[in-house]
Chain A
């Protein structure tokens, strides 16, 4: 099966952070078209194209733009969420390094759509190598007239600044990200008010994932019809998939929405590495569902995955071979959420830790049926009552594993010893 390279069409080309090179390759054509359109028509185009957010939730992108468009304000902001923190995901890093201008272009298009003059790229600190690439891209874009005070002579102004994170997964949550940019602890805000009305610095703000913004450039450049013809009826366009774990050929792949998960793992990526058997697959990163090998014959699009209880999320496919134990993976996931909880709201701060404690207890062979019931009860409270998405989705791997691998949990209960869990056991201590 062959990849369909739209977002990654410039991967491997030299000097792609030079605006001139990007323009030679057809870049900024989308922005030029947008500059000739009314703001609302740009939003309408994205609506017709059916673009949905690539960061995790799959929210219709045009709607986010509409909220900010409808709010009257002198200042509005476009924020690019490049705080790619979902474990196992590196598509944004790849995209930022191989085609940074496609993201800058997307931001400018979004800015034109809602009437924002200022954009921020919030970049995770673990990607220091990306900073010079984007800095260079912004500089050359300004020189080429694609960013700055008077973009391509249209009179439209759009500036972009880079802001750095410093190791906090929760800052991928949009309001936490705003707090972080404003110079505070990255603790999410309650909603409403929604960011489209009161976001960064209290102004209407549109926050989009790196990949979503890149899509905007291509939609404007190639048109609605072209975009609608890619993917499935409800999820258009291509999607970047990060395939990692115990798989033969790890990496970032681009396919139309709806590609079959099984084919992706076995035909594209060469199946499980080292000739081992497939134990489970987790889609969507640490906050995604863990499923059985017999459940993987499904098309990867936003709605199909949601319907099956998981989420496409950021498009991460985590392949786990049979030398592992599902419970050990669950423990690793929930430990991650417990550690990354910002500590603001009770259900997430206390609940993720208690889930970790209980899973750890089961891993150690000391769990009881009662503990299983407590986990489910607690998980439902964390999911429904936590302040932000981190808490809501932290329970997904736990609950999906309990649903899909009940026998694994049962086999650990009441003093049963699991060598795989035990082997991996370490005293976890974070600095």
Chain B
């Protein structure tokens, strides 16, 4: 593509054709303020904050959408521009509850940042209007306060196009326009899969995490024994949530912080991820050997599971019956662990720290009580844990390192890579390959499928049997592959589905993401895997002990009872 020359604020610059003014200005370190713009999303140009003057244009133009042209002269900071930006921002503020101090997004709100950037130091000239709509906290994962919505449209893009769940609708028009579930419904009554990606992109506090931290303090006050499990992703994102660089791995510090917060036992979900692989891998072998339902599809992502139950209920038999690592851990903690340590399961409070908001929903599913109690009492997100660490006055950066507690403190690299898209598949195949062939699978050679973004395929030769696998992330991709399953054209044996872009490492429980950050986190995940002494689930000694001492073998009666689950048809929520 040809280059074009233009000047921005009297500085000459040469950029490729098709570049927007916003991007061109960025290359000159000129920061044009933006609000509705999101680097991972389509240009929307509806907030009109990024307006600039362009020669030959009588009206102001939005830098996010306007392409550069040869000989163009752009002014990004004239008094006219600044006045327009501030007047527009003032209009937004006049229709937004100014209760920043008690808002979850306080200090991480993009609207707040812009107000500071534009030096909005005077009260708004208009009467502040409220939509006076109820706050919806019916969802276990998401709190929706439509009064704070600035109608930027980011959540709509995520929910409708990236995830194709379609929970939210822009309703009405003009001043009364609002983003809400259709027909006055609350989140709990919609098809929402709790992936939380809408919260990740919401610039304000309209969509926030359902904060469960109080439950932890209450359990402590009630004198319960607190056991916590930490998901693979968390060690790569908790430091970021506390202000360090994306991708900073802080496993040992994380354990120390949890101990200081009063958790009696700190375990590693990598352990139960290995357990998942043992069960799921053997289930796959069983299905392959006995002519079972194929392709088998992973079930460790609760958002995906609910999506399948809602939109493809006739295909839930394709889902692996293995529980997710979180729920396997929950079942084991309140049975095996409680028995061995002579703790009354009733006084045991089981917590998980997850990169995920759907885990909050998963642990509250009614069938997740195979231990006789709710297997996992509370699922915290990385963000909530970060708040607790701050609240407790712990300086995360300078913490010493502590190892995980035994017996569930050991995880393999296979368990660790659950965090990234393709990880579960690779972990499963490392074990399955070795069980079948007796040899070590060096690496999986995934190749992207041309023309299908987000779909990866691979083939593995299992002692003469070619096993074809596929990996997808985001639910739009899941939908696409399910359409192929429905049409009978998906000739795979095993499919991994993760609802969030990039897998769990891009999950909504993590600090606010961008695709760039997700890539840095992913690199760290594979780095951790490489450095771990054990990289295959079946080689995890503690997993072996659990089978020897308690469960027997994968797919045994006890394993089936504690580590496997069943699925429900949820199509009625669509009112069809």
Q: Do A and B touch, yes or no (CB under 8 Å, in the complex)?
A: yes
A-to-B contact residues, CB < 8 Å: 168, 185, 190, 192, 338-347, 349-354, 357, 374, 377-378, 380-381, 383-387, 392
Q: Which one of B87, B92, B173 lies within 8 Å of A381 (CB-CB)?
A: B87
Instruction: A190 to B153: give the CA distance in the assembly, Å.
Output: 15
Residue of A nearest to B175 (CB): A353
**Cα distance A345–B49 in the bound complex, in angstroms:** 10
Q: Is the CB of B95 within 8 A of A381?
A: no
Say whether chain A's binding surface is mostly helix, strand, loop, or mixed. helix
Contact count A vs B, C-beta below 8 Å: 94
Bound together, the chains give a CA A381 to CA B175 distance in angstroms of 17
Quick check: A347 and B48 within 8 Å, CB to CB?
A: yes
Known A-B contacts A190-B45, A386-B48; A349 and B87 likewise in contact (beta carbons under 8 Å): no
B395 CB within 8 Å of chain A = no
* Inter-chain contacts of B80 with A (CB < 8 A): 384
New A-B contacts (18) at CB < 8 Å, excluding given A339-B174, A383-B59: A190-B45, A341-B173, A343-B173, A343-B174, A343-B176, A343-B177, A344-B151, A346-B48, A346-B88, A346-B91, A347-B88, A349-B174, A350-B175, A351-B87, A381-B83, A384-B59, A385-B87, A387-B45
Partner of B175, one of A343, A344, A374: A343
Q: Are B170 and A185 in contact (CB under 8 A)?
A: yes
Does B43 sit within 8 A of A, measured CB to CB? yes
Q: In whole angstroms, what is the CA distance A383 to B51 when docked?
A: 13
Q: How far is the CA of A345 from the CA of B126 in the complex (A)?
A: 18
Q: Does B46 contact A (CB under 8 A)?
A: yes
Measured CB to CB, the closest approach of chain A to B317, in angstroms, equals 36
Chain B residue contacts of A374, Cβ below 8 A: 125
Instruction: Give the chain A neighbours of B176 by CB distance below 8 A.
Output: 343
A192→B66 CA distance, assembly (Å): 7
A384 in complex: contacting residue of B60, B150, B172, B175, CB < 8 Å: B60
The one of B43, B45, B84, B95 in contact with A350, judged by C-beta atoms closer than 8 angstroms, is B95
B402 at the interface (CB under 8 A from A): no
Is the CB–CB distance between A347 and B91 below 8 Å? yes
| Least CB distance, B250 to chain A, in whole angstroms | 40
Contacts of A338 in B (CB 8 A): 174-175
Interface residues on B, range: 20 to 34
Residues from chain A with a CB closer than 8 A to the CB of B170 are 185, 343
> A346–B59 contact, CB under 8 A?
no
Q: Is the CB of B175 within 8 A of A349?
A: yes
Q: How far is the CB of B426 from chain A (nearest CB, A)?
A: 39
The listed residue (A185, A342, A384) touching B84 by CB distance below 8 A is: A384
Min distance, Cβ B559 to any Cβ of chain A, angstroms: 50
Residue of B nearest to A353 (CB): B175
On whether the beta carbons of A357 and B88 are closer than 8 Å, the reply is no
Whether a CB of chain A sits under 8 angstroms from the CB of B65 is yes
Q: Are B174 and A381 in contact (CB under 8 A)?
A: no
Minimum distance in angstroms from A59 CB to a CB of chain B = 13
Interface assignment of B117: CB less than 8 Å from any CB of chain A: no
Using a CB-CB cutoff of 8 Å, which residues 160-185 of chain B contact chain A?
A: 170, 172-177
- Other-chain contact of B87, A185, A342, A345, A378 (Cβ < 8 Å): A378
Q: Chain B: which residue is nearest A343 at the CB level?
A: B177
Residue of A nearest to B57 (CB): A384
The answer to whether A349 touches B125, judged by C-beta atoms less than 8 angstroms apart, is: no
Chain A residues whose C-beta falls within 8 Å of the C-beta of B151 in the assembled complex: 343-344, 349
A-B contact pairs, 12 of them (CB 8 A): A185-B173, A339-B174, A342-B173, A344-B46, A346-B88, A350-B95, A354-B91, A380-B83, A380-B84, A381-B83, A384-B59, A385-B88
Instruction: Judge whether B229 is part of the interface by a CB distance below 8 angstroms.
Output: no
In the complex, B94 has a CB within 8 A of chain A: yes
